[in-house]
Structure 1
Amino acid sequence: MRLDLSEKYHTKTLGPRSAQLITELHELRKSTFTVADVRTITGLSPTAARTLVHKARQRGLVTRLKPGLYNLVPFELGRATEHVDSPYLIARELAGEASYFLSHGTAFELHRMVTQPNFTVYVSCTRRVRPQTVGGYDFRFVHVTPEQVFGVTKHWIDKERFVAISDIERTILDGLRHPAFVGGITEVAKGLWMKRAELDLPRLVEYVRRLDVGAVVRRLGYLLEHYGLGDAATLESLRGMLTATYQRFDPLLPAEGPFVSRWRLRLNVTPEELDAVRLG
């Protein structure tokens, strides 16, 4: 059954084209949309589509997030003319047609693997997208190849809308690859410890092989062994992937501290700092 929005938007004048656009966007559950979406729905030319959206903005029907990207203002807000939807839905729109998933600090937060709020939305995407601020949110895109798009699941925004997000195992590995996008290696360690009961070790090892990043193998192996989370077979499987090169445990910190030959690591974070994670 199609929506009749004439009464819902009684405080905001709806022309026939605007009514068509708003109705279709609601039918499609597409609260964040582009000018291209407007053209597809209405069949208008690029200029006419932009004019229609401009008039819709003047009537308080939509909010402009950035050039070419808009948000519907829910009818429940009455006379309000500004509304920004979920930043995760905005991230999906910014990715466009490219494969994407919420990752790093954002995935840590959504999986409840952190104790501090994250103010940047991190998105892994097969298209190169510059960092930008949209609707008051900061977005940081991490470029990945199509082969690196795995370990992805759904995160439901509400009963009808969802976005792609890295699963727990992939989230940990991305954190180990880019600790700066999580808050440092100790924050990654904290997330690993918090989700220790849910970890799928065979899946974790499979993902490490597919990701094929030596620093991730070293950091993961050391943490699993330090926290007693990996059995002998898992640890030996990871050790079998090592090369002779040494890597810093935390790439954000200076190259200092003892060398751990078993994991080819320069341990620039003390074991005591890692032990403190279990107490927090």
Structure 2
Amino acid sequence: VDRGVATRLKPGLYVLVPFELGRERQYPGNPLVVAREIMRGEEHYLSHATAMEIHGMTTQPRLVVMVSTPKPRRSVTALGVEFRFVRCRRRHLFGLTEHWVTKQEKVRVSDLERTIIDGLKQPEHCGGVTEVAKGLWMRRQDVNVDRLVQYARRIGVGAVVRRLGFLLETYEMAAAPVLDRLRNGLTSTYVRLDPVLPAEGKRLRRWRLQLNVDPEELRAVVRT
């Protein structure tokens, strides 16, 4: 560290400075690789807004790296990058894939469909439901709708099923039988379309949703 060939991230964890950068005291390394090293082999995957960025579902870079893991962890800030950890159940470690961030380094990340499901489960980690909806629309040609439905049912969270069904219907991305499959089994409880926003707006009985985001705002994504 004193010679400028490595940067200390936390006790016992360092990242080497590339030779071409010379003596550099503030080299953060690739944040995605750093996240992997912080976890030190523990079960985890890059998720939410970070996964959205990896999958080309957002136009704005994020300054926080999101990591899902079964073990509770406090956020870590290393050299100006915040690493935020979201606790997930071990049985929910599915729908994951490997992503090469350099020619030598790869990381584990939620696949496209799982990224959408995580975003609908916890929109607060993605910038809100509207951002998740934009990402869904941006990658509509590549999304496997059957896999989306399968993941939603496997997660087993009613709010996810409601939000997914509503967005698929809004963007005309699913046939009627698929939407019926999602509607089957919904309870009478209403949930907010976006849990980040206040409980206001009309109620949509078909999906048991309180539309606290203007549907026209979501439809406007198609025109941008």
TM-score normalised according to structure 1 size: 0.77
Aligned to 2:190: 246
In structure 2, how many angstroms separate the alpha carbons of the residues matched to 1:256 and 1:177? 19
Aligned to 1:126: 70
Aligned to 1:260: 204
Q: In the alignment, which of 151, 157, 167 is matched to residue 101 of structure 2? A: 157
Q: In the alignment, which of 175, 180, 183 is matched to residue 231 of structure 1? A: 175
Q: Describe the SS at the equivalent of 2:150.
A: helix
1:159-182 C-alpha deviation (Å, 9 max, x unpaired):
221000111100011111111111
Query: Amino acid of the residue matched to residue 266 of structure 1?
Result: Q
Structure 1 gaps of 5+ residues are 1-56
Q: How does 1:107-256 map to 2 (within 5 A)?
A: 107-256=51-200
In structure 2, how many angstroms separate the alpha carbons of the residues matched to 1:228 and 1:79? 54
Larger helix fraction of residues: 1
In structure 1, how many angstroms separate the alpha carbons of the residues matched to 2:26 and 2:63? 21
Aligned-residue Cα RMSD (Å) equals 1.3
Aligned to 1:19: none
Q: CA deviation at 1:128?
A: 1.3
In structure 2, how many angstroms separate the alpha carbons of the residues matched to 1:97 and 1:104? 20
Aligned to 2:223: 279
Structure scoring higher RCO (CA < 8 A, sep ≥ 6) equals 2
Q: CA deviation at 1:82?
A: 4.3
In structure 2, how many angstroms separate the alpha carbons of the residues matched to 1:81 and 1:119? 20
Query: Amino acid of the residue matched to residue 66 of structure 2?
Result: Y
Q: CA deviation at 1:81?
A: 4.6
For the Cα contact (< 8 Å) 2:193–2:210, is it kept in 1?
yes
Structure 2 gaps of 5+ residues are none
Question: How many pairs are equivalent?
Answer: 224
Query: Amino acid of the residue matched to residue 236 of structure 1?
Result: D
Q: In the alignment, which of 16, 27, 41 is matched to residue 97 of structure 1? A: 41
Structure 1 runs (4+) greater than 6 angstroms displaced: none
For the Cα contact (< 8 Å) 1:95–1:127, is it kept in 2?
no
